[in-house]
């Protein structure tokens, strides 16, 4: 009996092993790479490279090592697949909407209350609807006029007569003021300054550790957010009263449009949704735009040959405008060399080096299996600084973006496809209008020529000293 039992046990094991290895479904092939040390993974190397604006080197080194534009790693205890290349950009921005979503850190989820009940894809669709109204043919000329007047007044009040200024601080105040005007309709400078101080505190908490204890960055951000919501409730209540009295009130700002916005079922946004979207629009527009303008000024001063070409383009536009004084849509369209220069700045020094996403459904990409729950990091810089797509990538050359421009999805500072940033055109117009007035009135020299550009909050490129300059009037 013992012999038969032993024989049966051994036979069972042999049959199990045979079926497991010869008839079982083949194991899915996950991307090459390493998860590194337990929990830590490659977090230290990644975040050091992120801080110094060198994520593209981190990615390119491993892309070459694994001979793949897709590889796995581990960051902050999370399994992450890193993507790069135009095919990856296109996939993430056009085909991945049902497979991946934006990854919102816990701090963002807590600071933006509507994230608990509004899907990201729904959020994005409504954002596009609202912003597209602001930029339609009926409203864009009014918007350009507002930007034109505010640029002129800002330079007159904060730059004119000054020997020295810190560019990033001033430009950030300007882009914030413009965003508040366009999105909420507030014009009073004292109210704008009050909101500006609160938004700075609120923004610092977005990537902070979500410890809500007195004295922490996150606690201060939550407190500032609550104060901002109180103010927004008053503004929304007042705007609704105005619309009730006059249903045909012109929708001259984003807030008014949001109050009127209905989804396909005829439902209006809740007050929390409106607040969150306004906050999102403001944060997404003023900081990145201010960084772009600051970096453009820094590169312009370093590149006299391109500086002179752009000055010539702007002077020609000024001559063609006469006797008209305000810029219009047609003038913006003529600023081709200026915008090519800005695009090359963004290629060379991405304002944001990449984006994180979360996998919500298992999928296969380039024969690699990507499991649900894993995170994705899409590296912009690894593509934008790749000689295969941008010959001699270390050379600053705005002509790359002239004519037909680049191969689609090689340079994606504003995203692409249906994931294109809804505020791209808003930012483009604002940058060009401000540069037009700046170049018409001033020249500058850096006070710290060797100033570095770092990513101190692991998010946006910022000159370490804010780009201090000495000014001279034209």
Question: Do the beta carbons of residue 373 and residue 363 sit within 8 Å?
Answer: no
**Comparing C-alpha atoms, which of 13, 30, 117, 112 is closest to residue 66?**
30
Specify the 3-state DSSP secondary structure of 309.
helix
Q: H-type helices in 184-270, by residue range?
A: 189-204, 217-245, 254-260
According to DSSP, the residues that pair with 102 across neighbouring strands are: 357
Rounded to whole angstroms, the Cα distance separating 362 from 370 reads: 6
Rounded to whole angstroms, the Cα distance separating 433 from 222 reads: 35
Rounded to whole angstroms, the Cα distance separating 354 from 356 reads: 7
Specify the 3-state DSSP secondary structure of 226.
helix
Under DSSP, the state recorded for 268 is B
DSSP secondary structure letters along 18-54:
HHHHHTSPPPP-PPSB---BTTTBTHHHHHHHHHTT-
Annotated binding residues for heme, written as ranges, equal: 421
Question: Do the beta carbons of residue 86 and residue 389 sit within 8 Å?
Answer: yes
Annotated binding residues, written as ranges, equal: 421
Q: How many helices (H) and strands (E) does the chain have?
A: 17, 12
- In the structure encoding, which two tokens stand for residue 89, read together? 């950009």
Q: H-type helices in 73-139, by residue range?
A: 86-90, 106-111, 120-134
In which residue are the tokens 């590194």 written?
36
Contacts of 13 (CB under 8 A, 6+ apart): none
**Comparing C-alpha atoms, which of 429, 440, 431, 335 is closest to residue 141?**
429
């Amino acid at each position: 009996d013992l012999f038969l039992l032993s024989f049966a046990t051994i036979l069972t094991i042999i049959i199990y092993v045979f079926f497991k290895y010869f008839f079982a479904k083949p194991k899915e092939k996950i991307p090459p790479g390493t998860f590194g040390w337990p929990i830590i993974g490659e977090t230290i190397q990644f975040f050091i490279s992120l801080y110094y604006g060198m994520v593209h080197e981190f990615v390119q080194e491993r892309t070459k090592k694994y001979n793949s534009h897709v590889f796995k790693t581990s960051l902050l205890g999370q399994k992450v697949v890193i993507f790069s290349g135009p095919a990856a950009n296109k996939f993430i921005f056009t085909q991945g909407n049902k497979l991946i979503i934006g990854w919102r850190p816990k701090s963002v989820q807590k600071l933006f209350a509507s994230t608990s009940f509004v899907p990201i894809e729904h959020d994005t669709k409504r954002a596009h609807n609202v912003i597209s109204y602001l930029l339609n043919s009926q409203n864009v000329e009014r918007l350009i006029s507002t930007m034109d007047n505010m640029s002129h007044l800002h330079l007159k009040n904060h730059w004119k007569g000054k020997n020295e200024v810190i560019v990033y601080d001033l430009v950030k105040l300007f882009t914030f003021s413009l965003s508040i005007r366009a999105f909420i309709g507030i014009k009073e400078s004292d109210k704008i300054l009050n909101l500006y101080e609160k938004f700075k505190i609120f923004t610092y908490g977005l990537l902070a550790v979500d410890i809500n204890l007195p004295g922490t960055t996150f606690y201060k951000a939550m407190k500032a957010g609550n104060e901002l919501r109180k103010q927004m409730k008053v503004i929304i209540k007042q705007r609704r009263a105005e619309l009730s009295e006059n249903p045909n009130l012109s929708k001259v700002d984003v807030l008014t449009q949001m109050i009127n916005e209905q989804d396909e079922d005829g439902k209006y946004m809740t007050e929390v949704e409106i607040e969150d979207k306004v906050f999102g629009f403001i944060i997404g527009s003023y900081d990145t735009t201010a960084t772009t303008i600051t970096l453009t000024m820094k590169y312009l001063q370093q590149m006299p040959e391109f500086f002179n070409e752009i000055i010539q383009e702007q002077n020609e536009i000024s001559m063609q405008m006469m006797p008209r004084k305000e810029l219009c849509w047609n003038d913006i369209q003529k600023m081709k060399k200026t915008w090519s220069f800005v695009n090359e700045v963004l290629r060379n020094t991405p304002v944001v080096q990449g984006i994180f996403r979360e996998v919500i459904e298992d999928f296969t990409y380039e024969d690699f299996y990507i499991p649900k729950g894993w995170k994705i990091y899409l590296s912009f810089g690894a593509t934008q600084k790749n000689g295969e797509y941008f010959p001699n990538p270390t050379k600053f050359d705005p002509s790359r973006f002239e004519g037909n421009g680049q191969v689609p999805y090689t340079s994606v500072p504003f995203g692409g496809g249906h994931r294109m940033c809804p505020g791209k055109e808003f930012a483009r117009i604002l940058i060009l209008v401000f540069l037009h007035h700046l170049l018409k009135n001033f020249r500058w020299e850096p006070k710290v020529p060797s100033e570095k550009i770092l990513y101190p909050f692991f998010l946006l490129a910022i000159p370490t000293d804010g780009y201090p300059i000495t000014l001279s009037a034209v």
